[in-house]
Amino acid sequence: MFNDRKVSYSGVQPSGNLTIGNYLGAIRNFKTYSDRYKCFYCVVDMHAITVRQVPAELRRRTYETLALYIACGLDPEINTLYVQSHVHEHAELAWILNCFTMFGELSRMTQFKDKSARHADNVNAGLFTYPVLMASDILLYQTDVVPVGIDQKQHVELTRDIATRFNQLYPDTFTIPEPIVVSTGKKIMSLADPLKKMSKSDENLNGVVFILDDKDTIIRKFKRAVTDSDTEIRDAEEKPGIRNLINIYSCFTGKTVPEIEQEFKGVGYGDFKIAVGEACAAGLEPIQTRFKELVADKAYLEAQMKKGAEEAAWYARRTLGKVRKKLGFTQV
């Protein structure tokens, strides 16, 4: 809460091209709060370097992620959109919160276990303390709600634990945030392996639909989606491929699962896959058009980045100042 206004905060890493998982699980829901809350949405470049990045690509994707935020309907005049490394208070608070986070807590984080297995040659300390930097992002802005996909819920819960521990020692420092996970879209699965989360850093590109894929590519990827040997379009645990396609169709059309099952009664998998691909392409088209205009205007994006960083820093400084005082740090 800041000045009687509730706060919504979230972030996306510029670690690859954004997928429909990022869009449906996170970015699309950022807008829900735009009218009523003070909203901060960040491009978390410092999180991205926990795995190796090519500098020129990181730079390009940072601009692109900001452009996608705007293209997805987040008005930079209303929402504070900024880049994490432009506000140094994040790194400063992260150090402090490291001293209030337990080794055991970080060891239990499933994303750390997954990523350290996937990047076994680079299990760096940043990958381990990643959730502490995320807690700093959230807590600096006295956040009430954090819209995320389900994979990030555990990190927000750890953030709550860190904030509660800190508040017990130093009362009234942080607002305790709430993770907001939508029911449809919270976990979009890979089209190539519907038991695996669709992820922008997946090696199998056939399973991943990018927000910027053109219509033909989208339809081709959906046509190849792995399903089962049955023929019925029905939402069931034992049909993870079809369940995922129904879920994606529901997200793009707003139709409920029973409505979709009814609509596709007696229809073959092939036609259903094309229908899902078409709904997805149609939903993404306006975003792609706006995105193309925005990335062509680097000066505009830079101006937004600068404005966002200045706004965010104002709030971040207030919280960090309070933390420093409570801890007993001196001020000159």
The residue ranges that bind ligand LTN (CB under 6 A) are 9-11, 13, 44, 47, 134, 137-138, 146, 148, 152, 155
Which one, 280 or 323, has the nearer CB to ligand ATP?
A: 280
In the residue annotation, 197 being an active-site residue is answered as yes
Whole-Å CA distances, 215 to 91, 198, 225, 280, 283: 40, 19, 15, 9, 11
Minimum Å gap between C-beta 236 and ligand LTN is 29
The verdict on whether 306 is a catalytic residue reads no
Q: What is the total count of residues that contact ligand ATP (CB under 6 A)?
A: 22
Cα–Cα distance, 89 to 40 (Å, whole number): 15
Does the footprint of ligand ATP cover residue 134 (CB under 6 A)? no
Long-range residue pairs from 61-65, CB within 8 A, at least 24 positions apart, any chain: 61/14, 61/15, 61/16, 61/17, 62/14, 63/295, 63/298, 63/301, 64/14, 64/17, 64/18, 64/291, 64/295, 65/12, 65/14, 65/18
Q: Taking CB under 6 A as the rule, which mask of x and - marks residues 201-230 in contact with ligand ATP?
A: x-----------------------------
Q: Cα dihedral angle (273, 278, 280, 284), rounded to 10 degrees? A: 160
- Shortest distance (Å) from residue 175 CB to ligand LTN: 14
> Is 115 marked active-site?
yes
Query: Shortest Cβ distance from residue 173 to ligand ATP (Å)?
Result: 25
Which of 6, 153, 187, 197 does the annotation list as catalytic?
A: 197
For ligand ATP, the closer CB: 41 or 166:
41
The residue at minimum Cβ distance from ligand ATP is: 25
Residues 8-47 that bind ligand ATP (CB under 6 A): 12-13, 15-16, 19, 21-22, 25-26
Between 28 and 86, CB nearer to ligand ATP: 28
Q: Least Å distance between CB 174 and ligand ATP?
A: 21
Cα 153 to chain centroid distance, Å, stands at 11
198 binds ligand ATP (CB under 6 A): yes
Q: How far is the CB of 22 from ligand LTN (least distance, A)?
A: 8
Q: Which residues are CB-neighbours of 261 under 8 A, at least 6 positions away?
A: 233, 234, 235, 246
Separation CA 139–CA 159 (nearest Å): 8
Q: What is the Cα 130 distance to its own chain's centre? A: 14
Distance CA 90, CA 306 (A): 16
Active site residues: 115, 197, 200
Q: State the residues that interact with ligand ATP by CB under 6 A.
A: 12-13, 15-16, 19, 21-22, 25-26, 148-149, 151-152, 185-188, 197-201
